[in-house]
Amino acid sequence: MEELFTQSVKDLGSMYHFSRDELEILDDADKAAEELSKSEFEHYIKREVNPDHKKVLTKHGIIGASVDKRYGGRGANPLVSVLVKERLGQLGMGLSSFINVQMFLGEMMIQRWGTDDQKERYLRPAVRGEKIFAYGLTELEAGSDPSEMQTTYEKRGSRYILNGSKYLITNGSIADNLIIFARSKDNRDEKSAFIVDSKSSGFSIPMRMEEKIGLFTSDTAMPQMDGVEVDEADVFGGIGNGMHVAYSGLMNGRMGVASASIGVIEACLNAVVERAKERIQHGKEIGKHQLIQNHIAEIRQNLEMARWPVYFAAIRKAEYEADPSNESLINELDLRISLAKKIASRLAFESADRAVQVFGGFGYSILSPVGRLFCDSRVARIYEGTDEIQSLKIAEGVLGKDFKAFR
Ligand SMILES: Cc1cc2nc3c(=O)[nH]c(=O)nc-3n(C[C@H](O)[C@H](O)[C@H](O)COP(=O)(O)OP(=O)(O)OC[C@H]3O[C@@H](n4cnc5c(N)ncnc54)[C@H](O)[C@@H]3O)c2cc1C
């Protein structure tokens, strides 16, 4: 198993007893990352979505690892899921974005909010790699404030008709099903979520975001719905409950981004250690120059600072999942997840910046691992809620709900 990842499992193992099944999941995540590393690089430099994500993650039983055993999954709890994401995060945010949406925003959300029928219809095939999910909340004019969404639904008989466009949706053009958020055509304050079939008539992808500054192996698309029909059996989380569902998804998504950020820092550390021992300048390995040692020490320090808030949030999340009605736990969890996401994503970007510096000119290329991590990790400070939104949530957690900065 990869060394820094083994260390994380070992460190946590001194506080948490991993079952044999859980250790097997972690071992499989390691194998999947190992197997994907070559194709991830090849597709990255060609700037194309990596079609192996689904195949390899399914082969190693990772795609549905957090799905309940009742639906054919492996029942990984939030802590184990976070560790899986940490290991996959070492390959960069492209793979991580794919699995974040699939696992944390798709499967975990269906598990939390889905009806029994939805769980049967979506989770079972997802475990077999037969259902890829996307999460469509953001719109062109509704980003940090999703309550401004313009996509509408109206009821006709036993069906809902959706009209509108979503913006920057991960897995948007490769998903079989998308969790789409919309507002009632008659009442703009009523928001609801729907599970939309991408093969529905009226569903299209007029545009993909091709000109990203990183994250090339991940699909980012703008799904459009022109009179898309959704059966009432695919209302997700109840009519009128859309914002509640959306925010619970963002909590999951933030946790996933935070865990992948740990993987990014680990990959930076691995890369700089190797480079520092190999590259010779001024007559000695650059790792013998104290200023390079400082970069390495800072990245190692960042790893330590990033890991624990994420693990702690994951442990609290496991408690919350056992008792989702616990209001005080949800408020604390909200704060902890925002802390974890903001801390880990900033430290990942800072580590990648230092790693590029250690690599010098070669670092300024996507042919180098650190160049790719630098380009990729920037997005972690934006998606699933920007740094600024996390700051507002952290302040609200400290000051209390009366100081909530926005609706
Ligand atoms: C590669 C990628 C993949 C994505 N995948 C998905 C996905 O799968 N599903 C999905 O729904 N969305 C997705 N997103 C969208 C992402 O969640 C949004 O980009 C993000 O929430 C920010 O919204 P915005 O881009 O509209 O920025 P804006 O909301 O326009 O923000 C612009 C700036 O204003 C700041 N700002 C906004 N409001 C406040 C405030 N009240 N106080 C202080 N500062 C504020 C922001 O922090 C930011 O700095 C993705 C984005 C990217 C880049």
Q: Are residues 328 and 207 in the same domain?
A: no
The reply to whether 303 and 343 lie within a common domain is yes
Is 384 an active-site residue? Answer: yes
Does the global pTM surpass 0.95? Answer: yes
Task: Transcribe 136-169 into DSSP letters.
Answer: E--BTTBSS-GGG---EEEEETTEEEEEEE--SE
* Closest alpha carbon to 194 in 248, 149, 137, 139: 137
Instruction: Give me the pLDDT at residue 1, please.
Output: 86
Per-residue pLDDT tens digits for 19-59:
999 999 999 999 999 999 999 999 999 999 999 999 999 99
Over the stretch 165-219, which tens digit does the pLDDT of each residue have? 999 999 999 999 999 999 999 999 999 999 999 999 999 999 999 999 999 999 9
By three-state DSSP, how is residue 206 classified? Answer: strand
Q: Are residues 152 and 99 located together in one domain of the fold?
A: no
Write down the catalytic residue from 211, 384, 388, 396: 384
Looking at residue 338, what is its pLDDT?
98
> Ligand 1: distance of its center to the CA of 30 in Å?
31
The pLDDT-based confidence of 328 (bands split at 50, 70, 90) is confident
- Confidence at residue 405, expressed as pLDDT on a 0 to 100 scale: 85
76 pLDDT band, cuts 50/70/90, is: very high
Which residues have C-beta atoms less than 6 Å from ligand 1? Answer: 101, 135-138, 143-144, 168-170, 215, 220, 379, 382-386, 388-389, 392, 405-406
Nearest CA-CA partner of 222 in 126, 281, 138, 293:
138
Which is it for strands 177-184 and 191-197: parallel, antiparallel or unpaired? antiparallel
Residues 65 and 169 in one domain: no
Task: Please state the atom number of ligand 1 nearest to the C-alpha of residue 105.
Answer: 8
How does residue 131 score in pLDDT terms, banded at 50, 70 and 90? very high
Reading the block at residue 13, the tokens are 């193992």
Instruction: Supply the DSSP string of 344-400, one letter for each residue.
Output: HHHHHHHHHHHHHHHHGGGGSSTTSHHHHHHHHHGGGGTTTS-HHHHHHHHHHHHH-
Same domain, 217 and 248: no
Same domain for 281 and 350? yes
Mean pLDDT of 65-70: 97
What would the mean pLDDT of 333-362 be, rounded to a whole number?
A: 98
Domain endpoint, select from 236, 261, 281 = 236
pLDDT at residue 93, as a whole number: 96
Tell whether the model's pLDDT for residue 406 goes beyond 80: no
Mean pLDDT across the chain:
97
Mean pLDDT of 223-235: 98
Whether the pLDDT of residue 325 is over 90: the answer is no
Alpha carbon of 188 to ligand 1 centroid (Å): 21
DSSP code at position 233: G
CATH at 148: 2.40.110.10
Residue 407's pLDDT band (cuts 50, 70, 90): low
In this predicted structure, what is the pLDDT of residue 324? 80
Q: Is the pLDDT of residue 261 over 90?
A: yes
* Residue among 91, 110, 89, 90 nearest 100 (CA): 89
Of 403, 367, 406, which Cα lies nearest the Cα of 389? 406
Question: Is there a single domain that holds both residue 225 and residue 350?
Answer: no
Domain extent, residue 203, equals 135-236
The answer on pLDDT for 268 being more than 90 is yes
Instruction: Looking at the structure, tell me whether residues 168 and 289 fall in a common domain.
Output: no
> Same domain, yes or no, for 142 and 126?
no
Q: Are strands 133-136 and 177-184 parallel, antiparallel or unpaired?
A: parallel
Whether pLDDT at 327 is above 90: no
What's 72's domain CATH number?
A: 1.10.540.10
Residue that is last in its domain, among 236, 254, 276: 236
